[in-house]
């Protein structure tokens, strides 16, 4: 066994061998692949379609809201559009985004493993995703669904005459795909680490994925069983959640948010993992407070389970439990803040290079912080009563989900694109898109904070005329944002053919994935690597490469 | 599970060693941990319904007593014993696989299959009786001995059918897995070196058994549990 | 969970003695009969806790014998405790 260390990295040349892309060809070699890298690509392809579809519904809503009158879409159509936007973006795009695409591709390589522990299960989870998404999308063709992505009862079970069953069934199936991915990752992290790769040498992306997987594993089944009860109630007409028949609609909300609040952490924890990787790579420093960042992921995963009823403060829950939930909600801010402070401290006196992934991640840090701090507003009982169901809430969670999770997803795609495809993306265009996304995002969602604070309710297709100026700003921002998201689609495809060859380690980054070829061979490494260095040991690497370090 | 033999046959690999693992020990530990993780998911899956069950039990104690009185305690008790015996035979199957005695492994797996089938048979009998008595929720629900509590008793029966149905589904899947294990054990796949699949199967079976250990008192023995109606 | 064995794992050869299995079986069967019996005696409010304790003991017997205790019960506990925190205090007076 030879050990590949960072001393050799610079001298590794892409060997003229077969890689995972050209090892075999044809549709069947992809549809029945057990290679985690190919499955990651399959996911990337599927969720990109979902992102475009969800984005379409978002754009239509923003266009409708350009004027105070409901003139582009009827109220029914608008209801369907915000429902489909939510369901597609959350269940079919954000939940699988970073874990299933980047996690699938990068995690086993970062561990020095040949594959995930259960490759067939991994393929099965992609098929479950596809079946669930297909069932969910069939609903669009059949006429849509108008319950909102939360499927609140009793509207969803007794009154809505649309395709609630199909949509919930689709979400139910996709849930199992998510569970299996989480299971696979946990076992892989426990059992498949390369020799020498101890827990505290793991990249922070792995720690983040571990915490994410715990949430997927322990929260998703509760959503699944809740949706089953919803479907039973809708089909058999018994009163599990229907007050007219003795049920309690608040129980549905409790159980739904027991999953759906931690689901936010399924989206944001992997994003934090990407941020740690990128910040270290583009400041050429060790992450400040490695152990704090690692354990704060686990703390977020656990604390995230204790706060769900802050979505229900005005729904009629006990005031006493509301106080407890409000109090507990503040605690989640602590580990999140630890991460932000540690990234910031890493930037301090680092030699920061302004490559695209770093631009996205700097955007991520800022926007996530804003989303988090406004989250604290909402966790405060009194203020929450004032802004519940207004655009303030909409703006808050978009800062977390789009400003946080999607920005980090794009950062990760750009950061690992050379590894995935073996080609560099065009840097100038990519920087432009990062700036457009940042500007467009803020123009879209910052006005919504103001709108919500002055009282514009969410989920209506018409509004009072005095809200128009801010709405026009928001729609204008959405157009810029759409352009920012469309650009990568074009230039990344372009780079597949015309991009510069990447080489083994285009960023000069530390980590096992940067010691193997780009694209990696089918089994990831020609020989099992032996790890002798700590995560993010950039100082040692720079020294080994004979460069002088700015201190 | 088909074995994927590593590309070049330089060293003799065990036929059931999958290519992503270094050796059988790693493969064994991974599959055991995988099953434990799956069971953690299952605990939350059943736990979700049980949470709803307990909320309504606290809300409607009298209806829960009435619902419990509709259950055949003898059938449930026999099924409990049957499942406990099947857990024992399952554990013995794993032990025999470890010891490498093929015939005893197959015999114990068949015994487990037998007791599992008995359980499902008794359950089927109970279901038939409930259906005839009009205790299936929805339009078929015709039970009205205490009219004002009938909707709540129906709610109890929703949980009864839901929980036992979910449990029975797990039993059916378990029976399918047992058939597969019996076939593999018969073919002599298992021995002291390689018995992971039987052990994983065993973990699953014990879990399904444990779920029933909770369902039995929750669904059958409530009338006597300190809540009184009337 | 012990999991640092990547390099020193031979296939685990720990074989549980037969008597352990028999003991667990007898204890669990006895537990079932005890639950049954307890349910026929009126102990007032004590019946439910007793049944829960017996069921949990029986489950623990199995879990402790076969491998590890799982943390997911912690999460299940969170679901139960915080949901009940709402229901049990919903009708308390507000001062």
Domain A36-539, CATH class in plain words:
mainly alpha
- DSSP sequence for A500-531: PB--S-TT---SGGGGS-SSPPTTS-SS----
| Mean pLDDT for all residues in chain B | 88
SS (H, E, C) A489-506: HHHHHHHHHHCCECCCCC
Q: How do residues B152-165 score in pLDDT, each as one tens digit?
A: 999 999 999 999 99
Query: In angstroms, rounded to a whole number, what is the distance separating the alpha carbons of residues A37 and A55?
Result: 26
Quick one: pLDDT at residue C43? 63
Name the superfamily (CATH) of residues B24-224: Cytochrome c oxidase, subunit III, four-helix bundle (1.20.120.80)
Quick one: pLDDT at residue A342? 96
In a domain, C10, yes or no: no
Quick one: pLDDT at residue B12? 58
- Which residue in C1, C28, C47 is closest to B84 by CB distance? C28
Chain B contact present for C71, CB below 8 A = yes
Structure tokens at B98: 């470890």
Please choose, from the candidates A5, A535, A508, the residue with its C-alpha nearest in 3D space to the C-alpha of residue A289: A535
Confidence of residue B2 (pLDDT cuts 50, 70, 90): very low
Among the ranges given (A372-381, A486-495, C51-60), the one the predictor scored with the smallest mean pLDDT? C51-60
Q: Say if the Cβ atoms of A222 and B19 lie within 8 Å.
A: no
Q: Say if the Cβ atoms of C6 and A191 lie within 8 Å.
A: yes
Confidence of residue C70 (pLDDT cuts 50, 70, 90): low
SS (H, E, C) A232-300: HHHHHCCCCCCHHHCCCHHHHHHHHHHHHHHHHHHHHHHHHHHHHHHHHHHHCCCCCCHHHHHHHHHHH
A-chain residue closest to B7, CA distance: A523
User: Chain B residues with CB inside 8 Å of A226's CB?
Assistant: 48
- Which residue in A190, A251, A321 is closest to C89 by CB distance? A321
Quote the distance between the C-alpha of residue B55 and its chain's center: 24
Interface of A with C (CB under 8 A): 190-191, 193, 195, 217-219, 222, 250-251, 254-255, 258, 305-306, 308-309, 317-321, 324-325
User: Chain A residues with CB inside 8 Å of B45's CB?
Assistant: 221-222, 224-225
Query: In angstroms, rounded to a whole number, what is the distance separating the alpha carbons of residues C94 and A465?
Result: 40
Q: How many CB contacts within 8 angstroms connect chain A with chain B?
A: 104
Residue of C2, C9, C68, C82 best to disrupt the A interface, most CBs of A under 10 A: C82
Distance from CA of B36 to the nearest CA of A (A): 10
Query: In angstroms, rounded to a whole number, what is the distance separating the alpha carbons of residues B216 and B80?
Result: 7
Distance from CA of B126 to the nearest CA of A (A): 21
Q: Say if the Cβ atoms of C79 and A218 lie within 8 Å.
A: no
User: Chain A residues with CB inside 8 Å of B22's CB?
Assistant: 528
In a domain, C26, yes or no: yes
Inter-residue long-range contacts of A44-51, CB under 8 Å, 24+ positions, other chains counted: A44/A101, A46/A126, A46/A129, A46/A130, A46/A133, A47/A92, A47/A93, A47/A96, A47/A97, A47/A100, A47/A101, A48/A489, A50/A88, A50/A89, A50/A92, A50/A93, A50/A133, A51/A89, A51/A93, A51/A485
Return the domain boundaries, chain B: 24-224
Q: How do residues A423-441 score in pLDDT, each as one tens digit?
A: 999 999 999 999 999 999 9
Domain encompassing residue C75:
18-89
Q: In degrees, to the nearest 5, what angle opens at C-alpha A465 toward C-alphas A462 and A471?
A: 70
Q: Say if the Cβ atoms of A247 and B155 lie within 8 Å.
A: yes
User: Chain B residues with CB inside 8 Å of C29's CB?
Assistant: 81, 84
| Mean pLDDT for all residues in chain A | 92
User: Chain C residues with CB inside 8 Å of B55's CB?
Assistant: 83-84, 87
Q: How do residues A371-414 score in pLDDT, each as one tens digit?
A: 999 999 999 998 999 999 999 999 999 999 999 999 999 999 99
Distances (CA, A) of A181 to A188, A255, A430, A544, B35: 11, 22, 30, 38, 14
Return the domain boundaries, chain A: 36-539
Query: What are the φ and ψ backbone dihedral angles of B217, each rounded to 5 degrees?
Result: -65, -35
Query: In angstroms, rounded to a whole number, what is the distance separating the alpha carbons of residues A282 and A353?
Result: 5
Distance from CA of C95 to the nearest CA of B (A): 25
Please choose, from the candidates A195, A192, A191, the residue with its C-alpha nearest in 3D space to the C-alpha of residue A4: A195
Q: How do residues A217-241 score in pLDDT, each as one tens digit?
A: 999 999 999 999 999 999 888 889 9
Distance from CA of B223 to the nearest CA of A (A): 20
User: Chain C residues with CB inside 8 Å of B92's CB?
Assistant: 18, 21
Angle between helices C18-40 and B73-99 (to 10 degrees): 170
């Amino acid at each position: 066994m030879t050990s590949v260390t960072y001393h050799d990295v610079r001298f590794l040349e892409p060997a003229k061998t077969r890689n995972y892309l050209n090892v075999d060809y044809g549709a069947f070699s992809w549809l029945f692949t057990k290679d985690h890298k190919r499955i990651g690509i399959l996911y990337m392809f599927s969720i990109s379609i979902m992102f475009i579809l969800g984005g379409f519904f978002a754009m239509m809503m923003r266009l409708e809201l350009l004027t105070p009158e409901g003139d582009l879409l009827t109220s029914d159509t608008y209801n369907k559009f915000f429902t489909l936007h939510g369901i597609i973006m959350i269940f079919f795009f954000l939940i699988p985004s970073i874990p299933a695409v980047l996690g699938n591709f990068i995690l086993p390589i970062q561990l020095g493993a040949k594959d995930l522990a259960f490759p067939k299960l991994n393929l099965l989870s992609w098929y479950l995703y596809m079946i669930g998404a297909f069932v969910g999308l069939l609903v669009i063709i059949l006429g849509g669904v108008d319950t909102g992505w939360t499927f609140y009862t009793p509207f969803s079970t007794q009154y809505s005459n649309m395709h609630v069953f199909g949509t919930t069934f689709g979400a139910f199936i996709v849930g199992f795909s998510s569970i299996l991915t989480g299971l696979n990752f946990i076992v892989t992290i426990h059992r498949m680490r390369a020799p020498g790769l101890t827990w505290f040498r793991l990249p922070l992306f792995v720690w983040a994925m571990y915490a994410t997987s715990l949430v997927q594993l322990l929260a998703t089944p509760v959503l699944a069983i809740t949706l089953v009860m919803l479907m039973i109630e809708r089909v058999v007409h018994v009163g599990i959640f229907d007050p007219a028949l003795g049920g309690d609609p608040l129980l549905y909300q409790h159980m739904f948010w027991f999953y759906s609040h931690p689901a936010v952490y399924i989206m944001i924890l992997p994003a934090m993992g990407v941020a740690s990787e990128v910040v270290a790579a583009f400041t050429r420093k060790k992450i400040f407070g490695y152990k704090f960042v690692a354990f704060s992921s686990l703390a977020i995963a656990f604390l995230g389970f204790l706060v769900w009823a802050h979505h229900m403060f005005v729904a009629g829950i006990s005031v006493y439990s509301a106080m407890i939930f409000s109090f507990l909600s503040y605690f989640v801010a602590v580990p999140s803040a630890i991460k932000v402070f540690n990234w910031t401290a890493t930037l301090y006196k680092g030699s920061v290079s302004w490559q695209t992934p770093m631009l996205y991640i700097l955007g991520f840090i800022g926007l996530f912080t804003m989303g988090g701090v406004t989250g604290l507003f909402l966790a405060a009982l009194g203020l929450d009563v004032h802004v519940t169901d207004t655009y303030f809430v909409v703006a808050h969670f978009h800062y977390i989900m789009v400003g946080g999770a999607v920005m980090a997803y794009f950062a990760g795609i750009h950061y690992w694109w050379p590894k995935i495809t073996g080609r560099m993306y065009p840097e100038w265009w990519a920087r432009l898109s990062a700036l457009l996304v940042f500007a467009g995002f803020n123009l879209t969602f910052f006005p919504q904070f103001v709108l919500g604070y002055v009282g514009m309710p969410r989920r209506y297709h018409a509004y009072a005329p005095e809200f128009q100026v801010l709405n026009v700003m928001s729609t204008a921002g959405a157009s810029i944002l759409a352009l920012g998201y469309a650009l990568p689609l074009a230039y990344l495809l372009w780079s597949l053919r015309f991009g510069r060859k990447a080489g083994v380690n285009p960023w000069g980054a530390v980590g096992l994935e940067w010691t193997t070829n780009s694209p990696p061979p089918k089994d990831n490494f020609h020989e099992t690597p032996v790890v002798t260095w700590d995560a993010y040991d950039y100082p040692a690497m720079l020294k080994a490469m004979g460069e002088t370090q700015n201190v | 599970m088909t074995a994927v033999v590593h590309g070049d046959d330089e060293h003799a690999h065990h036929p059931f060693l999958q290519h992503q693992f270094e050796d059988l020990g790693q493969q064994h530990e991974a599959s055991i941990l995988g099953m434990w993780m799956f069971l953690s998911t299952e605990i939350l899956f059943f736990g979700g319904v049980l949470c709803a069950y307990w909320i309504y039990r606290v809300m409607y104690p009298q209806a829960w007593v009435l619902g419990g009185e509709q259950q055949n305690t003898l059938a449930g008790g026999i099924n409990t014993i049957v499942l406990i015996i099947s857990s024992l035979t399952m554990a013995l199957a794993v032990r025999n696989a470890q010891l490498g005695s093929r015939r005893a492994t197959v015999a114990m797996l068949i015994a487990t299959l037998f007791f599992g089938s008995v359980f499902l048979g008794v359950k089927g009998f109970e279901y038939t009786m409930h259906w005839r008595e009009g205790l299936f929720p929805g339009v078929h629900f015709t039970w009205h001995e205490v009219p004002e509590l009938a909707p709540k008793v129906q709610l109890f029966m929703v949980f009864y059918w839901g929980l036992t149905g979910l449990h029975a589904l797990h039993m059916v899947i378990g029976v399918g897995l047992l058939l597969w294990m019996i076939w593999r054990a018969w073919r002599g796949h298992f021995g002291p070196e390689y018995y992971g699949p039987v052990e994983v199967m065993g973990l699953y079976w014990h879990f399904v058994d444990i779920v029933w250990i909770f369902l039995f008192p929750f669904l059958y023995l409530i009338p006597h549990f300190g809540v009184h109606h009337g | 969970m012990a999991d640092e064995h990547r390099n020193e794992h031979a296939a685990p050869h720990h074989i549980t003695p037969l008597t352990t299995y028999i003991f667990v079986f007898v204890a669990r069967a006895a537990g079932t009969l005890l639950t049954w019996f307890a349910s026929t005696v009126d102990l007032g409010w004590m019946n439910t806790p007793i049944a829960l304790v017996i069921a949990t003991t029986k489950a623990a017997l199995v879990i402790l014998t076969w491998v590890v205790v799982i943390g997911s019960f912690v999460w299940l506990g969170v679901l139960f405790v915080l949901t009940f925190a709402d229901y049990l205090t919903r009708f308390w007076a507000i001062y």
